[in-house]
Structure 1
Amino acid sequence: MPHLIIEHSNEFNADILMEAVFKGALSSRLFESRAIKVRALPYQHYQVGFKRSAFIHVTLKIISGRTQGQKLGLSEGVIEQLLELGYENVAITAEVVDIDRESYSMALS
């Protein structure tokens, strides 16, 4: 935990985005490095208004129980790392989503 899901327009290199998002989550000091899971989903088909606009959106799924300040720090840290990549004319967003602690299950096989 956490699960970090990057949705992005297809002109970006997923490996570079994943590294930046990983670093942003790690900088929050809320998680150990081995617990951070990152994946990326490039979109070929998308529309913003009447045109195609570059975007990067990160959903940060974490077990419930963190404070609003911790959540804000996490999303800001991820955004900061993505901004450091120097992309121009791209909408970058992040949201923290609580996973209900009582109903979350995990298995390793």
Structure 2
Amino acid sequence: MPHFVMDCSNTVLNSYDETYIIEQIYLVANESGLFAANDIKVRLNPFTTYSVGNKTEDFIHIFAHIMQGRTTEQKANLSQQLVARLVTLFPDIPNIAMNISDFEKATYCNRNML
């Protein structure tokens, strides 16, 4: 925990390789101070078939899933920082966005909790 999952058009990978993009997302998440460095998980899903506003236009969207307990201000700042980094890396991509969802601590379970 937390999980950062980036969905994007496959042409995004023409600019940078997956490892570099994942590293950039990790760095911003870690710099936020909201998470332990070894808990941050990042994944990337490139798509070849997609529609954005009924067009085939490049996009990046990050879905962050984090444990409840952060303030709205902290989450908004994290979103702004990550989107800003992506806009810097991909200035020609018109659709870059992010949203954050909270895990409910009471219902969360992982292998180590069994």
Q: Same fold (TM over 0.5)?
A: yes
Distance (whole Å) between structure 1 residues aligned to residue 38 and residue 64 of structure 2: 16
Indicate conservation of the 8 Å contact 1:9/1:54, yes or no.
yes
Structure (1 or 2) with the greater helix fraction: 2
Identity between Structure 1 and Structure 2 (%): 32
| Aligned counterpart, 1:11 | 11
By how many angstroms is 1:10 displaced? 0.3
Name which of 18, 38, 43 aligns with 1:39: 43
Distance (whole Å) between structure 1 residues aligned to residue 69 and residue 93 of structure 2: 35
The number of residue pairs the alignment matches comes to: 108
By how many angstroms is 1:17 displaced? 2.1
By how many angstroms is 1:101 displaced? 0.7
Name which of 100, 103, 109 aligns with 1:105: 109
Provide structure 2 residue ranges, at least 5 long, that are not aligned to the other structure: none
Q: TM-score, normalised by structure 2?
A: 0.87
Indicate conservation of the 8 Å contact 1:23/1:81, yes or no.
no
By how many angstroms is 1:31 displaced? 0.9
SS in 1 for 2:6: strand
Name which of 82, 85, 98 aligns with 1:94: 98
